[in-house]
Chain A
């Protein structure tokens, strides 16, 4: 059982919950950028949250299912077509052998997900099927899909299909062009001047088109650093530090101009000061933003971050009940 890829789309990759435990060697966690949306798709088709899905970026693939298949599409709003007929997103769909799946123009966000009953069944590498293109591991030959690929689909899963056939509107993620992202200050925030910190938290930042699985870059007023004598080995710019590990979700501001949020495929370390980190509960929210999105960063405490994390867990649990 497989998907025959006629057209690959802009950048379609196999992703799952991520490759955990190899960050110390420079291998990023990877995984679906919008974990919640990917989980909704897996749930609809009767998978566990662990099964691999196809993550589509702006322009999805055109593919033919070689056998009957149960699929669902979730994430960014987009028109979905089976054999040219418009079908709903966030709903369990049946593909018959030879049916063609393709997509229209995306209407918000940047990424949508295709789950299939049985999961995308490429080999696991270091405990995950997620594609890491820089290291050429995971996914299909360690790269985005290409025309002519035959993407394997796993065998049917015993527990069958859930009663849930579609995702209620209130359980679907929002794709807004104006967001507030919760961050925890820390790491090297003490290198910013008072003015610099004020700029970070009280300005409107606009997501630029320089945004991908590695990181998202924002334009805005810039930030000011304190004057200091640079420590040995750190480099001359006040935004430089002795190369250190980067927290996933951390915000660095090279040269003090454009903040960059590091996301799931980011480099694991480097020499730019991180001044805050997006809380785990808001990483999906960041992943759903498209260029032009107005963004405000608001500082929260560890306790607030953990409360938000718990609320997300409760929300995700609802669809599995």
Chain B
């Protein structure tokens, strides 16, 4: 599919401008959305209330009493043109290691409670199902595919601090998994989920429709701001963050939980410049260079 050359502008009532970069998900669309969001933020226009970059679109909330709607549309159009014309496709960001206990008892127990009427495949667990629909031998192979390539935080939202993640892998290697037939009313906090082509980490306990594959060991939303990583803000993830999932076993999970309880846990992370061009032209090579940034921390 070729990239749409101009975005689609439409209004969500009198307070929201919605800009669809592309109908389908792609790294390029996400990059454009985030770049327009950053450029608009930098303009510091009076009357901008919130700028919400999403996977392949951008939602801007504004106060029409302060910022006329036509003016906002004109400004964003100009920024879109600038972003598309720019040859600078590098995002200064960071790579973070997220320890995950895959195939854990918490999500398996919850999954077992939502089978009949909720799930496509009542027997087995969500991982077995995901492996099957992707033509993989077993859950272990799916887990390997899930953590061996890094992920881009392509959107933050749904509930407080929940990251949507898009895997940095060629389209033909990307995993796709249907969402639950009907959403669960319960999902453990820190569940690593999967729906469509996106992974997510549920920041809080609650409803959810994504398949459940594991549980992250450390918080990503901390309203008490106890841990060092949350001193500045109660939400950990930002759009553009790169995530490397690290598979851990129960012993390691318990050790990290103890660190979290003691207030000493810190995420392993390193600053990186994410180069869209390299990511698209040499996905495998670029993956290795991204992961090197985490070595020796």
Q: Which residues of A contact B (CB under 8 A)?
A: 20-27, 125-126, 132, 134-137, 142, 183-184, 186-187, 231-236, 240-250, 267-271, 274, 277-281, 302, 305-306, 309, 313
Contact = CB atoms under 8 A, between A and B. Distances in A.
Interface residues of B, number: 54
B102 interface: no
B284 interface: no
B223 A269 contact: no
Nearest to B14: A305
Contacts of A137: 160, 223, 234
B64 interface: yes
B248 interface: no
B13 A250 contact: yes
Interface in B7-36: 10-16, 18, 20, 22-26
Interface string B31-63: 000000000000000000111111111110100
Contact of A247 (B18, B20, B171): B18
Interface in B137-159: 155-159
Contacts of B234: 126, 137
A187 B12 contact: yes
Contact of A269 (B1, B11, B155, B204): B155
B274 interface: no
A25 B16 contact: no
Interface of B: 1, 10-16, 18, 20, 22-26, 49-59, 61, 64-65, 69, 155-162, 164, 171, 176, 178-179, 195-198, 203-204, 206, 221, 223, 234-235
Given A242-B55, A245-B59, A25 B156 contact: yes
A245 B158 CA distance: 8
A302 B62 CA distance: 14
A8 to B, nearest CB: 21
Candidate in A126, A245, A313 with the most chain B CB atoms within 10 angstroms:
A245
Contacts of A243: 54-55, 155, 158, 164, 196, 198
A234 B196 contact: yes
Contacts of B156: 24-26
B23 A231 contact: yes
A132 B65 CA distance: 27
